[in-house]
Amino acid sequence: MSATQPAQPKVTEREARQVAEAAREQDWRKPSFAKELFLGRFRLDLIHPHPLPADEDVRRGEAFLARLRDFCEREIDGARIEREARIPDETVQGLKELGALGMKIDAKYGGLGLTQVYYNKALALVGSASPAIGALLSAHQSIGVPQPLKIFGTQEQKDNFLPRCATTAITAFLLTEPDVGSDPARLATTAVPDGDDYVLDGVKLWTTNGVVADLLVVMARVPKHEGGKGGITAFVVEADSPGITVEHRNAFMGLRGLENGVTRFHRVRVPANQRIGAEGAGLKIALTTLNTGRLSLPAMCVGAGKWCLKIAREWSGVREQWGRPVARHEAVGAKISFIAATTFALEAVVDLASQMADEDRNDIRIEAALAKLYGSEMACLMADELVQIRGGRGFETADSLAARGERAVPAEQMLRDLRINRIFEGSTEIMHLLIAREAVDAHLSVAGDLIDPDKDLADKAKAGARAAGFYARWLPKLATGAGQVPGTYREFHPRGHTDLSPHLRYVERSARKLARSTFYAMSRWQGRMETKQGFLGRIVDIGAELFAMSAACVRAEHLRASGDHGREAYQLADAFCRQSRLRVEELFGRLWANTDDLDRKVVAGVLSGTYAWLEQGVVDPSGDGPWIADATPGPSRHKNAHRPIR
């Protein structure tokens, strides 16, 4: 029996939050270093000693990295990709033959079976040769068909699709729509049951890999029907199915080789056995996939940081001003120090989170989200500083530099390419809210009913009793801790090395202060806490800095113990922690001394037109057309731009 296709859903703000809440993982079955950190508990034992990969994983991973490096150096022409705004087909074919499509897919399905650690190292390497190729491989394996099938697919689905994904089939993930971004409750694409099939109708926007994809993961709304509860549901869809049209290949300020488009579905039949998981489980599948999938972007940010450091070192040692290399001038030297220290810390964060993902002993949903948030923000800052260090040459394109006889350094391209990472897979603003929700989960678990307007007095009374017991035990523990005891963490002050133990004591003290600040805010604002996005963003940013400091210190000690540049690692960790502590202190100050209230008033004035006079004196070069393109379901009127690579 066929269900009736619904109109685009109209949802309230509260309904949208309920959809998002239902999709998140509700339980914490494994320990989480970052979750404990936000609760004021510095669980160094969860990350130190630094977890290590198995010897066989290292052997296989290093062997593949060697082959991939050779391929990058010989076969990838990043300048050509930038110039032609397209990855050459022969380059993609070479990646397929190398096995790069199956880095994370188990060997029994034809993949390489690399660990998360080596998958991320591979992305950093290939992304340094061409960020567009890094994006293609990441979108295919981190959020495309392989990862959700690995976690949620049936054995039949794995047997059917994973061998293709490992060797020949490029995949894409389709969630976003012209009028739906990070608010999936308004998802308009529908999948209507019809016999043994579902019939898909709708339009998807910003479909990374969608222009060249062979297989798609599509999120669509199934209406409630006889025999099914409906809801947002995930499907594997053949990209060449009748009724699918790639209507447009999008062009961007960066990642010019990105095969990203607009895809329309018109009466596309998808067999029911290609549904991933149950009806209504689509968003949970997407969020669970991203728990580790989010590590791919910061991995490529690590690669960007390493390249920025290399160019900064080489250039600033050659370029002279006022009788000395520019690196010797303090204003430039501070920028180089920031790039070096931040690259070290960011690699520490990504490697630690990746190894924790491989071991599967900890819940890393917050750690992965922090890595994505921190990596994308800091990489943009590093690239911007490199452009500044290079001066006019940093603003000049690589082709122009080469044309007049200088080294073709694509610094401005790096800045453009990295900018999207602050938006990809959850914008910085959305990541702040997502992480903040997880950070206050313990509070909402015991006291959520107290601030829920829909709960009656009886429920509030029960919540009050639970909260009283929880806070009676928890709050006293935030008063004192190991961070106030001189000599704590003495293993981080080995003979002849910089002393990192004060930084870890600072992290411990700051974690307790962070938890107290969160509690004070919840007591003050209660149900309005969710509207205090400025405050929540600063809370998360403090947590990100504390996590990065912890990871940097643990990595430095690991490198010292293994005899691998230990002295230099301690110096870099010390520099990073000192820089990070300055940022943390500023963020703590801005928790309570800020312009948030005034900003809201100014925004209200802007939206009401109060300040429209300020816009006078310019012309608007924007073209005509609607702000949001029409996405009404129906047949396509465009030529199909789908371009599978065979």
Contacts (Cβ under 8 Å, ≥6 apart) of 348: 548, 551, 552, 554, 555, 556, 573
Q: What is the DSSP string of 187-247?
A: ---EEEEETTEEEEEEEEEEEETTTT-SEEEEEEEEPPBTTB--EEEEEEEETT-TTEEEE
Given a cut of 60, whether residue 5 has pLDDT beyond it is no
Residue 440 has pLDDT above 60, yes or no: yes
Distance, in Å, from the CA atom of 539 to the CA atom of 518, rounded to the nearest integer, reads 8
Distance from the Cα of residue 113 to its chain's centroid: 22
pLDDT at 14: 66
Task: Among 19-23, 62-66, 559-563, name the one with the lowest average pLDDT.
Answer: 19-23
Question: Can you give the pLDDT at residue 444?
Answer: 81
Percent of the chain past pLDDT 90, that is, above it, reads 82
Sign of CA dihedral 118, 29, 22, 526: negative
Window from 22-26, 363-367, 374-378, 512-516 with minimum mean pLDDT: 22-26
pTM across the whole model: 0.95
User: Which pLDDT score is estimated for 514?
Assistant: 97
Residue 6 has pLDDT above 50, yes or no: no
Q: Tell whether the model's pLDDT for residue 428 goes beyond 60.
A: yes
Confidence grade of residue 16 (pLDDT, cut at 50, 70, 90): low
Residues marked active site are found at 425
Query: DSSP string spanning 427-464?
Result: -HHHHHHHHHHHHTHHHHHHHGGGS-TTS-HHHHHHHH
The answer to whether 275 and 198 have CB atoms below 8 angstroms apart is yes
* pLDDT interval class at 217 (50, 70, 90): very high
Average model confidence (pLDDT) across the chain: 93
Q: What would the two tokens of residue 500 be?
A: 């990192």
N-terminal to C-terminal alpha carbon distance within the chain: 39
CA distances from 570 to 44, 485, 505 (A): 18, 22, 16
Q: Which two tokens stand for residue 120?
A: 């991320």
Residue type, 355: Q
Token pair listed for 617:
């004196």
For 263, phi then psi, to 5°, come to -120, 130
In tens, the pLDDT along 298-333 reads 999 999 999 999 999 999 999 878 878 788 889 999
Judge whether residue 129 has pLDDT over 70.
yes
Per-residue pLDDT at 320: 74
Percent of the chain with pLDDT over 70: 97
In this predicted structure, what is the pLDDT of residue 2?
43
Q: How confident is the model at residue 9 (pLDDT cuts 50, 70, 90)?
A: low
What's the pLDDT tens digit per position in 50-72?
A: 999 999 999 999 999 999 999 99
pLDDT at position 604, please?
97
Burial environment of residue 603 by CB neighbours within 10 A (0 to 12, 13 to 18, 19 or more): exposed
Q: What is the pLDDT of residues 132-154, one digit of tens each?
A: 999 999 999 999 999 999 999 99
Model pLDDT for residues 82-93, shown as the tens digit of each residue = 999 999 999 999
Q: How far is CA 438 from CA 146, 432, 469, in A?
A: 26, 10, 21
Q: Write out the DSSP string of 280-311.
A: T-HHHHHHHHHHHHTTHHHHHHHHHHHHHHHH
Q: Is pLDDT above 60 for 232? A: yes
pLDDT at 80 over 50: yes
Return the bridge partners of 111, or none: none
Using omega within 30 degrees of 0 as the cis cutoff, is the peptide bond preceding 242 cis? no
